[in-house]
Structure 1
Amino acid sequence: MLRCDGRAVADYVHRPRLPSTLSPRPYLHPVRTFGGRVVTELRPADHAHHLGVSMAVPDVSGGNFWGGRTYVRDRGPVALDNHGAQEHTRWLRQDPGIRVQELSWTREGRELLTERRAISTFALSADAWVLDFTSVLTNASGEDLSIGSPATNGRPGAGYGGFFWRAPKEDAADERPEVFTATASGEDAVHGTTARWLALAGRDWTLVFAGADDETRRDPWFVRTGQYPGVGSSLAWARRLPLAAGADVSRRILTVVADGRLDRPSAADLARKAIAHDIGDIRDVRDVPPADTQS
């Protein structure tokens, strides 16, 4: 359970029991606004491998850490026996509003990546708080790897893979959340673009996503509102991301979780405040020392 300003705001499932076809991985669900509105979806009927908020990558040198089918060039989506799993190794820190852990990304018993992940919370106002999600992936395989996506494998516009937030559908079948940045509105206009922040606004909730550093801000946003509501930050939008043996890649996403349907100026103001917030003693997750607990 993660807490913010004394209130329970999210459950973090660090050792999920899931079928291998879902690429088992830790996830956050439910995530709630201060007012109690749930703003994540777990294993929805349209995409059973969507797990609330998670770090999900569809192609790590052929290994599927996203779940579901794999997009194969000239064949399309194919059910393959290529799923990996993210396994919790140990906690480095556990506080009410902070979790820092180490994970092992394995496929068929072979470790491809290790990860240091920091998840923390802080309040912005009486109606809004921030989920701060940092991931540092290190190539532990002993050989060069690369991260890809359906787009890099031949499916245009499907550059998903990395931080991903599956939001809930509205009660009315024809009601969709609004998505916008500082300069554009609608799925077609913002999908695949880079922007300092991006907002997804439902009937009575708003999520404002922002990259916390220059490297993260260079990643395009993957956005869906028509088929389902979801937002991700893409590691491999148009070309594969090489990862040499021993090298690492770091990303940090801030998500403002707010009650109410925010307009553009309000979303921009919250994004600015979130980015400017002093993150305290976790400035580089690589430097966090191990805690006493190993569970």
Structure 2
Amino acid sequence: MTESAADLVVEGRTLARYVWEPDLPLAYAPRPYLHPVTTPAGTVVTELMPASHRHHAGVSIAVPDVDGANFWGGRTYIAGHGPAWLDNQGIQRHERWLEQRPSQLAHAVRWSSPAGETLLTEERVLTARGATDTAWVLGLSFALTNATDRPLEIRSPAAAGRTGAGYGGFFWRAPGSNRVFGPAGVGLDAVHGQTCDWIAVTGAAWTLVFTAADDVTRADPWFVRTRDYTGVGSALSWDVPLTLPPGGTAVRSIATVVADGELSDDEAAELVDLTRTAR
């Protein structure tokens, strides 16, 4: 399969590549993703199919369990057993463009089970806006709608008993092992599993500031990992499933400031205001 991709451009500079028809192995739950994403100076702040957790794909919407189908990739967590390889990987497929401009992409996505059943339909919007000479804002919002005639449960491994593993939804795989912090302080205890307006991650030459762009998203806990790799997500399901009735829709929105430099806590906090003007 040949990949199809579109660029997000701000003031004439390509700052992100969105692969809307990916060439990923089935075991990695093929899905659209952003990679590379760069700072204004050109530093890459995403990883694709890294050595650790090969199924991670830049910035994507990935869910470990939708009605038994794995849209995260890799192994599936089974209560009382642990992670196991199952032939249950789903696929997210581009259906049609709703808008396609240099600074904004919007399209319809179909989430299909291994048997080919459409479980979810989605409308996804990506935006890129300038902020300062050394920072820009990436917006990503999505609306997931139950396309079946039965209730669908969206689950994280934590909802199946794996304590702390509340991942699933918006997820950003960043390079290296880095410093994380938020309004409550520095380190994993201050951000992982917490509900707060924003959190930040710094690398050697970059800073990412993630913000919940609305009250519903703000109520979702942040999933953050820095051991072995750096990953940041906003959890649709933490320790209890998110159930969508037939025709029901879950809408979420994240705005991320992508900045040059390893910023201080105060400097990163000041960038949060940039997302408010860019939404």
TM-score bin, normalised by smaller chain: over 0.9
Q: Which residue is equivalent to 1:65?
A: 71
Spell out the pairing of 1:239-254 with structure 2 (5 A cutoff).
239-254=240-255
Q: Distance between the aligned counterparts of 2:53 and 2:159, measured in 1?
A: 21
Q: Is the 8 A contact 1:40 1:165 kept in 2?
A: yes
How many Å apart are 1:181 and its aligned residue?
Answer: 0.2
Note the residue ranges of structure 1 that are not aligned, 5 or more in a row.
Answer: 170-175, 280-295
Amino acid of the structure 1 residue aligned with 2:196: A
Q: Which residue is equivalent to 1:121?
A: 128
Note the residue ranges of structure 2 that are not aligned, 5 or more in a row.
Answer: 1-6
Is 1:45–2:45 an aligned residue pair? no
Spell out the pairing of 1:122-137 with structure 2 (5 A cutoff).
122-137=129-144
Q: Is the 8 A contact 2:106 2:126 kept in 1?
A: yes
Amino acid of the structure 1 residue aligned with 2:257: V
How many Å apart are 1:265 and its aligned residue?
Answer: 1.5
Q: Is the 8 A contact 1:210 1:275 kept in 2?
A: no
Spell out the pairing of 1:269-288 with structure 2 (5 A cutoff).
269-277=270-278, 279=279
Spell out the pairing of 1:187-266 with structure 2 (5 A cutoff).
187-266=188-267
Amino acid of the structure 1 residue aligned with 2:216: E
Q: Deviation digits for residues 78-122 of structure 1, max 9, x if unmatched?
A: 101111000000001000010000000001110000000000010
Q: Which residue is equivalent to 1:139?
A: 146
Amino acid of the structure 2 residue aligned with 1:76: G
Tell me the matched-pair count: 272
Spell out the pairing of 1:68-79 with structure 2 (5 A cutoff).
68-79=74-85
Q: Distance between the aligned counterparts of 2:183 and 2:73, measured in 1?
A: 32
Q: Which residue is equivalent to 1:290?
A: none
Q: Which residue is equivalent to 2:3?
A: none
Q: Which residue is equivalent to 2:28?
A: 22
Is 1:89–2:85 an aligned residue pair? no
Secondary structure (helix, strand or coil) at the match of 1:34 reads coil
Q: Give the structure-1-normalised TM-score.
A: 0.91
How many Å apart are 1:4 and its aligned residue?
Answer: 1.2
Q: Deviation digits for residues 154-191 of structure 1, max 9, x if unmatched?
A: 1000000000000011xxxxxx3110002211123321
Q: Is the 8 A contact 2:257 2:274 kept in 1?
A: no
Q: Distance between the aligned counterparts of 1:188 and 1:44, measured in 2?
A: 26
Q: Percent same amino acid among aligned pairs? A: 53
How many Å apart are 1:12 and its aligned residue?
Answer: 0.5
Amino acid of the structure 1 residue aligned with 2:166: G
How many Å apart are 1:276 and its aligned residue?
Answer: 3.5
Q: CA RMSD in A?
A: 0.8
Spell out the pairing of 1:168-183 with structure 2 (5 A cutoff).
168-169=175-176, 176-183=177-184
